[in-house]
Each structure stands twice: as C-alpha cells, then as structure tokens.
C-alpha cells in the first residue's frame, strides 16, 4: 500500500487514548512511507493525526470541500490540500488516491465514510482493504450491531468478515496488507436464490 485514507473525528473525543492512537498512526504512516490521505482539517483527531504525520516527515494530502475550507479549519502545513466542490467529490477523490482505508474513532462523518467504502467494497467497486482501529473498544457496539445485521439476514457473513479490525495501528496495517477481497459471484447468486424462495 502506497497510500491510506484515514477517516476520523473532527472532535477529539473524551478518552485521551483516541488522540494517542491518531498520533501513533500518523507517525507510523510516515515511517512506512505510506502517504496519508484524509479530510484536510486541523481540528479534532484529524488535526492530531496530520500534525503527527507532518512532524515525522510524512507525505500527506488533505481533501476538503471549498465551503469547509472557507471556515478556516483547513490544515495549512500539508504536502498538498485539494479543494473540491462538495462532499460527494471529496469522498470520490479520497478513494481514488488511496490503496486502503482506516477508520479511527469519530462521529457521523466518520461512520458515513466508513459505511460508504464498505458498501462499495461489497459491490467490488473498490477492492481495497478497510480497517477499523478499535482504540479502547470504541467500535465494539458498532461491530456488534454489524453482527446483528448478519444474524437478521441483511449483511452477508463474508462481507462482515471482510472488515479488518485491530486495536493496534501496526497490527492493523499488517492485516490490511494480507487482505483478499470476497468473490462477488456467489453473493449475487445467493440473493437471486432468496428472491426465488420468497
Ligand atoms: P465526524 O466524525 O462527524 O467528526 O466527521 C469527520 C469525518 O468527516 C472526517 O473523516 C472528514 O473527512 C469529514 N469531516 C467532517 N467534518 C469535517 C470538518 N470540519 N473538516 C474536515 N472534514 C470533516
């Protein structure tokens, strides 16, 4: 992987371990010569992540809609800041420039970005690994809910299992390195079969 897109909070969260994880990941990406692609902001965990990456000599690309940049929260020390027209273009650009995705703790924006890439991965529009950095169990409830979606027949087990989870940045990147995408053929056939039965 030459570049990884990181989704994370525009807030810092209450637990200091979230900031610690963002700092560790920023540094690790720089040390591994993996370009950081992210939302381009200097606030919250995004700011912590980018500052750490910059301090460690990393290459970083921020992608931000012009309307958000006008709020003066764009990071001014990035290798590159790409301004786009809207949130949709931003997500497309983030995906285009990245070989994988990592979600750190965050709110609606982070969950939106994470679930969008999961959906695209399910359809094999992207064949890129998706990692969840489960710092101090932040994503435990979300992952448990995803288990429920499998139990209730809305998410397929293989797609749930495709999500790479670790509480530790180095281990997460290592697991992402060995990622193998799920074949789409069987899944589509299963859905058609369900339709025939119902
Ligand atoms: P949230 O988790 O709701 O704080 O949203 C953070 C995620 O959504 C980040 O990964 C960003 O890509 C995007 N985002 C939301 N708010 C901002 C912001 N103020 N500046 C830059 N990106 C943002």
Residue 155 CA, chain-centre distance (Å), reads 19
Contact of 182 with 162, CB cutoff 8 Å: yes
**Pocket of ligand 1 contains residue 73 by CB under 6 Å:** yes
pLDDT at 185: 67
Contact of 83 with 65, CB cutoff 8 Å: yes
Burial class (CB within 10 angstroms; exposed 0-12, middle 13-18, buried 19+) of 197: exposed
Residue nearest to atom 13 of ligand 1 (CA): 109
Helix (H, G, I), strand (E, B) or coil at 20: helix
186 C-alpha to ligand 1 centroid (Å): 35
Residues spanned by the domain of 188: 3-197
pLDDT at 31: 98
130 C-alpha to ligand 1 centroid (Å): 18
What is the CATH number for 142? 3.40.50.450
Number of domains in the chain: 1
Mean pLDDT, consecutive 10-residue segments, the chain of 198 residues?
97 98 98 98 97 98 92 91 95 96 98 96 91 98 98 94 96 95 74 76
**Pocket of ligand 1 contains residue 105 by CB under 6 Å:** no
114 C-alpha to ligand 1 centroid (Å): 12
Does the predicted model carry a pTM greater than 0.85?
A: yes
**Pocket of ligand 1 contains residue 154 by CB under 6 Å:** no
């Amino acid at each position: 992987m030459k570049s990884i897109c990181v989704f994370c909070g525009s807030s810092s969260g209450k637990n200091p371990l979230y900031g610690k994880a963002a700092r560790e990941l920023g540094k690790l990406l720089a040390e591994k010569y993996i370009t950081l692609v992210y939302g381009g902001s200097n606030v919250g965990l995004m700011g912590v992540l980018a500052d750490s990456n910059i301090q460690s000599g990393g290459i970083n690309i921020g992608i931000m809609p012009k309307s958000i940049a006008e709020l003066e929260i764009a990071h001014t020390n990035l290798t590159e800041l790409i301004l786009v027209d809207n949130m949709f273009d931003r997500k497309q650009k983030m995906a285009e420039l990245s070989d994988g995705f990592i979600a750190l703790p965050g709110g609606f924006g982070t969950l939106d970005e994470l679930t969008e890439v999961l959906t695209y991965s399910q359809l094999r529009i992207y064949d890129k690994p998706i990692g969840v950095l489960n710092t101090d169990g932040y994503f435990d409830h979300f992952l448990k809910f995803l288990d429920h979606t499998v139990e209730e027949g809305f998410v397929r087990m293989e797609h749930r299992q495709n999500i790479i989870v670790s509480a530790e940045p180095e281990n997460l990147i290592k697991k992402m390195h060995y990622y193998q995408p799920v074949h789409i053929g069987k899944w589509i056939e299963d859905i058609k079969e369900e339709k025939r039965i119902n």
